[in-house]
Amino acid sequence: MMKIVSYGIRQDEQPALKEWQAQHPEVQVQVESELLTPQSATKAKGADGVVTFQQAPYTREVLQALHDNGINKMSLRNVGTDNIDMTAAKELGFQITNVRVYSPNAIAEHAVWLMGRLLRREPEYTEKINNHDLRWAPEIGRELRMQTVGVIGTGHIGQVLIQILKGFGAKVVAYDPYQNAELAKEGLYVDQLDDLYKQADIITIHVPSTPENIHMINAQSLAQMKDHVIIINVARGDLIDTKALIAGLDAGKVAGAGLDVYENEVGVFNEDWHDQAFPDKQLEDLMNRKNVILTPHTAFYTETAVKNMVQISHNDNLKMIQGQQPDNPVQLG
């Protein structure tokens, strides 16, 4: 019987995993609630592969520990691979898969939800209502159909988002060095990011964290944007220079920000800090602003997406164990 060790399995993932197990009785799945670390890697000894989730770095030490326990097949239940030591993975002969597409709708809907809450100034109204202040003014809102939304990145998520925005009647301008043919026919693309910055009332980012994209939203790019711009980031935290964003908020250049990610989120997000000293003053600054909405990397977190992440990752791990080509291989360089 084949054996897969699944690390960091949450309670909400259990139903999808049980369904997958029922469909694959030839596979024994060993469920581990703890994350994959050099220490927990010993629990994979004797298994054929591991499935894990990106919440801690997969350093050379982690990969070496798996390798020493006979494992070289690892499937991620997420899309991001930026925290994997790819050099070590290649040297140790790993095969790695991720889940490239688990639910573009989940991410796109979250982005629009953040836009709508900021446009209608919902955080400010919530504070007033909690204080029994039911007056309208001065928190007047803006209509989405009257906004120009700049979409940076038109992959799976960006394309779904554009369709949703069209439904609201918003004007869309888009930028992507790899243009989608159908969107190009519609004339949605601009040639330079500078053009998008100058036109957009709302800017939403849907690109990967690559060296050329890190801090793409910075003091220089913010200076090119319209006054009172709204910034949305449901992609990767390091796409935004947080200090520059805070300066833009302080100056009134940025009217609001909807952030599902943060550049120093590892070790802070998905933790309960209510009875502890909060460890990040910069993040706390953002959390305390009425014109900033922060969600702790939950744009993906829907029943549909979680089921897809669990089942696609286990399908690929099984294919690798059986010597077949997985659907979502990660290139190790």
Name the active-site residue from 265, 289, 303, 314.
Answer: 265
Is 303 assigned a catalytic role? no
Reading the block at residue 230, the tokens are 């709204």
User: CB of 266 within 8 A of CB of 238?
Assistant: no
Is 297 assigned a catalytic role? yes
Bridge partners, residue 329, by sequence: 97
Q: Cα–Cα distance between 115 and 293 in angstroms, integer?
A: 10
Helix (H, G, I), strand (E, B) or coil at 135: coil
Helix or strand holding residue 254 (H, E): strand 254-259
Name the active-site residue from 206, 236, 263, 314.
Answer: 236
Is 186 assigned a catalytic role? no
Q: Which CA distances in Å does 312 have to 60, 79, 315?
A: 25, 11, 5
Q: Which residue has the tokens 């801690």?
A: 56
Name the active-site residue from 77, 121, 206, 297.
Answer: 297
Q: Which CA distances in Å does 102 have to 99, 141, 318, 320?
A: 6, 33, 18, 19
Q: Which CA distances in Å does 274 have to 70, 245, 280?
A: 41, 26, 14
User: CB of 98 within 8 A of CB of 76?
Assistant: yes
Q: Which CA distances in Å does 269 have to 2, 12, 44, 108, 217?
A: 34, 17, 27, 21, 22
Instruction: Give the catalytic positions in this structure.
Output: 236, 265, 297
